[in-house]
Amino acid sequence: MTTPELEYWYELCFKAFNNNKKANDFVLFLEGCKTKPPTNGLYCWETTDLEFQQHLKALGCEPLDNVWTLPIEKLSVLSKNKSQARSQWHTQRQEQLKAHLSKTLSSITTPLDITDQQRIALVKEFVQVHQTDVGSVPFLRGLVGCLKYQLQNKYQVIEWKLSEYVLTQNDEEAMESYVRLLRGVLGFQLLYQDDTDDDSDKVIININQQPLESVLIWQMNPNLENRFIQSVLKCLPKEHNLNDYQVSNTKRNITQPQTIFQWFYTVISQCLSFLH
């Protein structure tokens, strides 16, 4: 096939991968609506759609009335080049998502100045949007596992090693929502991120070996009380992950419950204060 024909096909494939309906319809037509090859080694397509006919002509198909033909070997080349185009598209798309993630992390940097009640309301709103989204399942399960693991550790803060792909596999809107929940609502801190030059919001930590995939390490908000964490968990799905967490050296800034002796001492002290 000629270079212009292949370039035209590449462009069509990229449009189809980017959810262009017309381009996707034609790609599906070319792959699924061909006739069985006759003895002369040609595939045939029959269409009255003028736009489809224009595409077929640009790909080197020969017309006969409304029937268009293409040699078997040329269709094989198109199929191979579609696979190459998809691989290239995935690479470019992931680069776009990584860039958007960096931009999102730079724009959402601090917790919102709101009450715990308002935070719970935002968690419920997040769950309502994402709990039926298959692409959000890994994030939700990871978050639930992290919160449950924190409840098991009374004094130290938990760290969560999160695959970058979990944040980027959906679209940009979902990605922003994940980061907004972690940073803005729950007050998580980003400790480490692979493949980035921006160190403005990261603490240097030791990594024993280079991970095989890009990861981010998030640290739980040390100021979250257990009661608040339990309230958040009531809003989230029950399924959770069991790994990707570790206990850090950072201490939690939570109010420790009083013992019976401490409570009794406090009550007696208050009563005695009225005698003075």
pLDDT digits (tens, 9 = 90+) for 160-193: 999 999 999 888 999 999 999 999 999 999 998 8
Supply φ then ψ for residue 145, to 5 degrees: -60, -40
Q: How far apart are CA 113 and CA 115, in angstroms?
A: 7
pLDDT interval class at 39 (50, 70, 90): low
Averaged over 181-208, what is the pLDDT?
68
- At 172 the pLDDT is 93
* Residue 257 scores a pLDDT above 80: no
pLDDT interval class at 199 (50, 70, 90): very low
pLDDT interval class at 249 (50, 70, 90): very high
Work out the burial of residue 121: count CB atoms within 10 Å of its CB; fewer than 13 is exposed, 13-18 middle, 19 or more buried.
middle
* Residue 208 scores a pLDDT above 50: no
pLDDT digits 0-9 by tens, 129-163: 999 999 999 999 999 999 999 999 999 999 999 99
- At 203 the pLDDT is 41
